[in-house]
Homo-oligomer: A and B are copies of this chain.
């Protein structure tokens, strides 16, 4: 049963976030200004719940809020939705691959450093330190 109007606390809980986070997203223009009661309370719909959950899901894929802001711009425009989305995902995938490569390179370096260690590790000279301290 989809409710048609939530106040901020119930809304936030439904979205799985803090209500301060909702206000924060509003400030960051990820959510447009909600309608208000006569006394100024924010009112949200179940579409808004979907939007916040969408944001959270995309965020888990490694997108920053500012990237999501741009992404929502593309989605909200509606006509070039699909191409924009595809490009967005493709670009992020590329970034991710670079990041993974970087981490792997570091991993290799760490492994390499470890291999230089002598069997008796109570020595005063540490080859790892020597390696990192050169010139």
Interface residues, chain A, with chain B CB atoms under 8 Å away:
49-50, 53-54, 57-58, 60-62, 75, 78-83, 85-86, 89-90, 92-93, 96-97, 99-100, 103-104, 106-107, 109-111, 113-114, 117-118, 121-126, 128-129, 132-133, 135
Contact = CB atoms under 8 A, between A and B. Distances in A.
A80 B122 CA distance: 6
A93 B104 CA distance: 10
Nearest to A100: B103
Contacts of A133: 50, 53-54
Copies of this chain present in the complex amount to: 2
Contact of A100 (B83, B104, B124, B135): B104
Given A78-B124, A132-B54, A89 B113 contact: yes
A109 B133 CA distance: 41
A81 B126 contact: yes
Given A54-B133, A86-B117, A61 B110 contact: yes
B107 A97 contact: yes
Interface centre among A50, A92, A118, A135, by most B CB within 10 Å?
A: A135
